[in-house]
Amino acid sequence: MEELTRKVEAILYSSREPLKVSDIAEYLNSDNSKILKCIRDIERNYSEIDSSLAVGQFGNKYKIKLNDNFNELVSPFIDREFNDKELSMLSYIYKNPGVINGDLREKFGYDYRESTESLKKLKMISSKKYRNTNKYNVTKNFYLKFNINKRTLKKEEEK
């Protein structure tokens, strides 16, 4: 592998979040086409050696990730950002904007408040006072985190 490709690989592997080609190019003082070629070389190399790693594309951003075939194998060893209840609650709030405390309590049990507080701290949901309860909605951070945009929403509606 050439030097630039190794640098791109190190950056994609080390980054916490997926990165734009232009951001990598700017950081490495290179141009977008060279960086994109490096990413394609990394993908090809991983494929040729049947690696447990892969280059993931998330919209117009990239990150080195675990090959999907290994997700179940490593799941006991991964620190998860959200527990199952929080993920379920995020999905429910996303699909039911303006959901209130009573609905969450009925769906997730009386300890739902612990999860809502955790999700608010992570800035995934927001709440507003409504009469004697709260209304919950997902935030812009939720859409960014899960790479949901108008294009992905349109695809979802077409299904």
Is residue 66 a contact partner of residue 55, using CB atoms and an 8 Å limit? no
DSSP one-letter code for 28: T
Predicted pLDDT at 153: 63
Range of the domain at 67: 3-73
| pLDDT tens, the chain, 159 aa long | 599 999 999 999 999 889 999 999 999 999 999 999 999 999 999 999 999 999 999 888 999 999 989 988 988 888 788 888 999 999 999 999 999 999 999 999 999 999 999 999 999 999 999 999 999 999 999 988 887 876 666 666 666
Residues 32 and 54 in one domain: yes
Residues 69 and 117 in one domain: no
Residues 106 and 129 in one domain: yes
Predicted pLDDT at 157: 64
Is residue 54 a contact partner of residue 45, using CB atoms and an 8 Å limit? no
In the chain, the number of structural domains is: 2
Residue 135 resides in a domain: yes
Question: Which stretches of the chain are DSSP H helices?
Answer: 3-14, 21-27, 32-48, 71-74, 84-95, 101-108, 112-121, 140-145, 150-158
User: What CATH number does residue 96 fall under?
Assistant: 1.10.10.10
Find the angle CA(86)-CA(92)-CA(98) to the nearest 5 degrees.
Answer: 115
Residue 156 resides in a domain: no
Global pTM exceeds 0.85: no
Residues 57 and 93 in one domain: no
Give the strand pairing for 125-130 and 133-138.
antiparallel
Residue 95 resides in a domain: yes
Residue 21 resides in a domain: yes
Residues 66 and 16 in one domain: yes
Predicted pLDDT at 38: 96
Residues 63 and 113 in one domain: no
Residue where a domain terminates, one of 73, 97, 125: 73
Predicted pLDDT at 155: 62
Predicted pLDDT at 152: 60
Is residue 8 a contact partner of residue 24, using CB atoms and an 8 Å limit? yes
**With the C-alpha atoms ordered 79, 141, 42, 15, is the resulting torsion angle positive or negative?**
negative
